[in-house]
Amino acid sequence: MNIVILAAGMGKRMQSALPKVLHSLAGKPLLAHVIATARALSPTTLCIIYGHGGEAVPESLGAPDIVFAKQEPQLGTGHAVMQAVPQLRDEVPTLILYGDVPLTARNSLQQLLDSAGGNKLAVLTVELENPTGYGRIVRRQGNIVGIVEQKDATEAERAIREVNTGIMVAPTAQLKKWLATLSNDNAQREYYLTDIVARAVADGVPVVSAQPAAVWETLGVNSKVQLAELERIHQRNIADALLEQGVTLADPARIDVRGTLTCGRDVQIDINCVFEGEVVLEEGVTIGAHCVIRNARIARGAEIKPFCHIDGAVIGAESVIGPYARLRPGTELAEDVHVGNFVEVKNSQVAAHSKANHLAYLGDATIGSRVNIGAGTITCNYDGANKFRTVIEDDAFIGSDTQLVAPVRVGKGANLGAGTTLTKDAPEGKLTISRAKQMTIENWKRPVKIKK
């Protein structure tokens, strides 16, 4: 099939310089959601109509399987589809979607395609309690004979509750012919795509309909209010799917998934957690409240305590992280690693059973097994121009308030005394310490404030 996505609108009510279809829902642009659904249908042609915002849309979402056509000026939905005509193959049907309607399910579109067959015009419709603003589906003896827009509708037509979603499938050769006959003789002075319904009826082409599983599949975004409403609908759908998989959510209304979250059995997630990119939580993982986790894999039985930020990290089984820990890209923790409060780890590998429980920075480090990192420890990995690596071997003990000036190596079983600034390798099995000699100054007096 051909698929055309209309994405040229200005979106004045968004009150933003950003094109409407590039505003984010669940961490990616509205239009990206529609493109993903379109690709799931394996179209032979995927054409996006853009306009408002100049080249921002093709620059942001361009890909080899997408062709773009510019609509300028924007003279209505019918005029928008006209811009795609040179790209459309006559021998397959054309499905028309909207870049600001992000949640339409693949199954609902497949049902619409099945209804259309190869020779019918099929319209996706819904029934609304309050149809104000929508084009009404006009039927005679049960058959669709037209769609009338709100501003052009009579009082009787405005009472109709079945409305047009704008999504439709048409036989392409006829679609091209119908588009060529459209007129802008209406209240908006625009070329309505909906006028092709009357053209199809006049040509004896059957006009059929299909309905989505839920009304929210057809909801569009015209304002920040509607965007926020759709965000919550989408997040609740994700939460419900997680619950059905056996994930325990402290409150399904307080979770945000902005990417893909894959969970094993008996995963527990507390309130106000945000998951971005590709996140995998294996069996028995516990996520505390207010965590932000991006592009991470957390192995079985690990516990992430509240207020942790994890980005681009791999966390081993039975590890304990936080609270208030930050794991940055390149962090790889083996099993039973403890990273405690106000500890930051970046581009470092930590082997099994090692601990950094308090107030430390571990950057560009390779840390062995059963290592204890004392509070206030810092790997000094950056000289202002280049970064260097610190190596701490198995069973080492790093005393509190230690600075390891990279490049430097701490040998197996070595001990560093508290307050040490290590600038040379520390030999294995020995105590290394660098500390100013303690002194007491006799007859010293505390300064007093001078009276003026």
CA–CA gap between residue 45 and residue 33 (Å, rounded): 17
Residue 239 CB-half CA count within 13 A = 21
- Rounded to whole angstroms, what are the CA distances from 18 to 13, 356, 374? 12, 44, 48
Active-site entry in 23, 52, 353, 358: 358
If we measure between CA atoms, which residue out of 28, 40, 32, 168 comes closest to residue 97? 168
Establish whether the linkage from the previous residue to 102 is cis, with ω within 30° of 0.
no
DSSP H helices, 131-245, are 155-158, 172-180, 196-202, 224-244
Establish whether the linkage from the previous residue to 252 is cis, with ω within 30° of 0.
no
One-letter amino acid at 350 equals V
Q: Burial letters for 371-408: b for 16+ Cβ neighbours within 10 Å, e otherwise?
A: bbbbbbbbbbbeeeeeeebbbbbbbbbbbbbbbbbbeb
Element (H, E) at 163: strand 162-170
DSSP assignment letter at 14: G
If we measure between CA atoms, which residue out of 293, 321, 329, 316 comes closest to residue 305? 321
- Rounded to whole angstroms, what are the CA distances from 83 to 51, 78, 105, 388, 428? 11, 9, 26, 56, 73
* 315 contacts 330 by C-beta, under 8 angstroms: no
Residue 42 makes CB contacts below 8 A (sequence gap 6+) with none
For the chain, give the number of residues.
Answer: 452
Q: Is 338 a catalytic residue?
A: no
Q: Burial letters for 228-253: b for 16+ Cβ neighbours within 10 Å, e otherwise?
A: eebbebbbebbbeebeeeebebeebe
CA–CA gap between residue 418 and residue 427 (Å, rounded): 17
Enzyme catalytic residues: 358
